[in-house]
Amino acid sequence: MHFNRYFLFIFAILGLAACKKGFEGTKNPVPAPETFMVVDSIFRTGENRLTTSVDAYWWGNSTGGFIAGYEVSTDNMLSWQFTKSQDSTFLLKIPPGQDSADIVIYIRAVDNLGQKDPSPASTLYPIKNSRPDVKFIFSQPIGGIASQNPSIVFPVLKYTIFGTDPDGNEDIKGYELYLNDTNATPYSLPANTSSFLLQSNSPKADSSACMVYVNGSNNALSKSISGLKHNAANIIYIRVIDNALSKSVYIATPAIWVKKVSSDILLLNGYSSNKFFVQNFYTANLKANGISKFDTLQATEIVNDNYTQLQPDFQTQAKTFALFKKMLWFGDNASFMLSFGQRSTTDFFNNGGALFMAVAINSSFDPLSNFLDWTPIRSLINPPSGSIFRVNINAIVNPVNPTWPNIKSTAIIASARPFEISYNTPSIAYDSLYFNGIIESKTGQSPIDWKGVSTLMAKRYTVSNQKTNFIISSIPLERFNGLTNCDTLFNKIFIDELGF
């Protein structure tokens, strides 16, 4: 009995000793994780090398823990990026000036304790550089509207480009631009260039260097490019360069005729029909007043569904108009002319330009259109319901100032549209110049003289110096020479008022 109690006591003591040893022992450490990749090297040479865009796959094992993610290095383990993915596509970088390289991708697993595989897995990728490419983008006709890729311009040129690189567009280093001669020193454009605009420094010279604007900016780059020829055909060349200094082939524009600016006056012909009859009327009466030197722009000339002389956008057109000090603008499509002028004459006026515009405004033109807000016209007058406005043949239109001549129509003007002039401000004022001659016509009734507001020509001028900078006429002057005195009218408009 006592013997059994003794042995039970001994076993109890041994048991307690064993339990105490278990609590006081050292815990076994969790091993660092292991990392694996599908292959450790890829053998390819010459043209069979991979492109710089490669795919990689990996996984990891952890004993006693779990994999929390991976770290990846493509720069020989100088830097690491964390990811939870087990595959990715990498754009590998070839050193500048080299056509190929052997790049190693390293992967190391990271476990839940933050431990990292001390011996990362790796795969060597033999890669070669792919040549980049660039092309010019030209507008296309849309919905019956002609494209605008001019073949004749004054010395302001705009082009849109699109550069690509099979190795990723991030690999584009920049562009080389040439005017007419690819043996010349290239002009460097930045990698993010999507369009560029060239503006001649000396538009009245035979040739000139050009300021360069990129991506619609109004701030030119610090350097000019040389080689633009005036009154001659020009071809623009461009090529793209990648970070490995590989260059695309040269891409060339169609030849474009760049007109020298020969005067301070631009005649803009916006007529769709009778173009040259109207132009000859204006040029003959200008010459009768001693104005014989001017440039012309055919705003409605279309060949193969493409405007040949309109610039591709309003910024480029605005810079073109700003080359001149005076403009004489006539046309038969009010919506086209007024919307076009609204978006492209700000630089011209800011430079002190003076404009005469004669535009036929038919009954379909919206009287509340905001296309009028840049003109001396505040609003158009609508005829009474069921009536139309017109000017009959041999109608007399009267000047507000009696020193100006009466003018007489030589045809029925079915699109006559009287208007109200804009309100004066402390700095800008408006005056009517011609009125009357309008009749109101209703089917089945005899026409009657219109007794309402009947202004047909008005001006805008600066209050401080009384200098006129805009005259607009809603009647076509070429149909108002019934008294053969348009030379006198032109003297008043272009010499006395606008200072041509």
Same domain, residue pair 250 and 381: no
Residue 15 has pLDDT above 70, yes or no: no
**Do residues 285 and 163 both lie within one domain?**
no
Q: Determine the pLDDT at residue 375.
A: 97
Residue 26 lies in a domain: no
Q: Is residue 339 part of a domain?
A: yes
Nearest to 409 by CA among 347, 353, 481: 481
Write the CATH number for 247. Answer: 2.60.40.10
Share of the chain above pLDDT 70, in %: 93
Question: Using an 8 Å Cβ cutoff, are 197 and 156 in contact?
Answer: yes
CATH number at residue 417: 3.40.50
Neighbour-count burial for 247-261, b at 16+ CB within 10 Å, e otherwise = bbeebeeeebbbbbb
Task: Give the domain-ending residue among 128, 144, 171.
Answer: 128
Who has greater pLDDT, 157 or 17?
157
pTM above 0.85, yes or no: no
* Amino acid (1-letter code) at residue 249: V
User: pLDDT tens for residues 141-176?
Assistant: 999 999 999 999 999 999 999 999 988 898 899 999
The better pLDDT of the pair 26, 110 is held by 110
Q: Assess whether 254 and 286 both reside in one domain.
A: no
Query: Is residue 12 one of the residues assigned to a domain?
Result: no
Same domain, 253 and 347: no
Residues 118 and 227 in one domain: no
Integer Cα distance of 382 and 416 in angstroms: 11
Question: Which residues form the domain of 203?
Answer: 133-258
Residue that terminates a domain, selected from 108, 128, 148:
128
Q: Residue 280: its pLDDT value, please? A: 98
**Would you say residue 193 has pLDDT above 70?**
yes
Is pLDDT of 382 > 60?
yes
Residues 387 and 432 reside in one and the same domain: yes
pLDDT > 90? residue 23: no
Instruction: Let me know whether 59 and 198 are in one domain.
Output: no
Residue 10 has pLDDT above 60, yes or no: no
* Domains: count for the chain: 3
On the CB side of 72, how many CA atoms lie within 13 Å of its CA? 21
250 with 280, same domain: the answer is no
- In a domain, residue 448? The reply is yes
Q: How far apart are the first and last CA of the chain?
A: 139
Is beta strand 428-435 parallel, antiparallel or unpaired with respect to 396-399?
antiparallel
Burial status of residue 385 (CB atoms within 10 A of its CB: 0-12, 13-18, 19 or more): exposed
**Quick check: is 218 in a domain?**
yes
Do 114 and 58 share a domain, yes or no?
yes
List, for residues 291-342, the tens digit of each pLDDT value.
999 999 999 999 999 999 999 999 999 999 999 999 999 999 999 999 999 9
311 shares a domain with 180: no
